[in-house]
Amino acid sequence: MTALPIRGPVRIIGIDPGLRRTGWGVIEADGNRLIYVACGSVEPPNDLPLASRLLAIHEGLASVLSDHQPMEAAVEQTFVNKDGVATLKLGQARGVAMLAPAMFGISVAEYAPNQVKKTVVGAGHAEKAQIAMMLKILLPKADPPSADAADALAIAITHAHHRQSTALRLKVASL
């Protein structure tokens, strides 16, 4: 009888894209156990032109990726709001948030905001305070400095819970 290979923890980065503040959170998933690694945000100066802000987001995320060496990444999908210009700009920040891990050879999964809330809190329309409370339970050592960093940790947790089905979906799509 052959023993099954022992699988180690998987390091995951969650990214909450934004032009003013892009949150990031790194966790390790070891089976059902979640371990907090680090979190923070990339905050380009508001007075920079759009292209320079996008570059600052990319450089900041590249630094985080280099420092923490995640194996997988997850990014929140953009929700469309009434302000089309703001939605397009957010989409550009999201593109940078997806590009940075891809440039490191890291696969990137995407999750809708309601799916993140439902996974972490149990309700798809949860408030930020409810997410923060659940983060204290799921990752007791985490102390996110901003709501964006907390959201990024929630995105990473969502990926930890859904990564098997996401990988299967990607595999089927490539056939």
> Which residue in 64, 65, 51 sits closest to 95, CA to CA?
51
Is residue 148 marked as binding? yes
76: annotated active-site residue: yes
Q: Which of 28, 59, 72, 76 is catalytic?
A: 76
Is residue 16 marked as binding? yes
Q: Which of 16, 28, 72, 151 is catalytic?
A: 16
- What residues pair up with 73 in beta bridges, in sequence order? 13, 108
Q: Which of 47, 67, 127, 148 is catalytic?
A: 148
Q: Rounded to whole angstroms, how far apart are CA atoms 167 and 172?
A: 9
148: annotated active-site residue: yes
Within 13 Å, how many C-alpha atoms sit on residue 154's CB side? 34
Is residue 28 marked as binding? no
So which residues are the catalytic ones? 16, 76, 148
Residues making up the binding site for Mg(2+): 16, 76, 148
Residues making up the binding site: 16, 76, 148
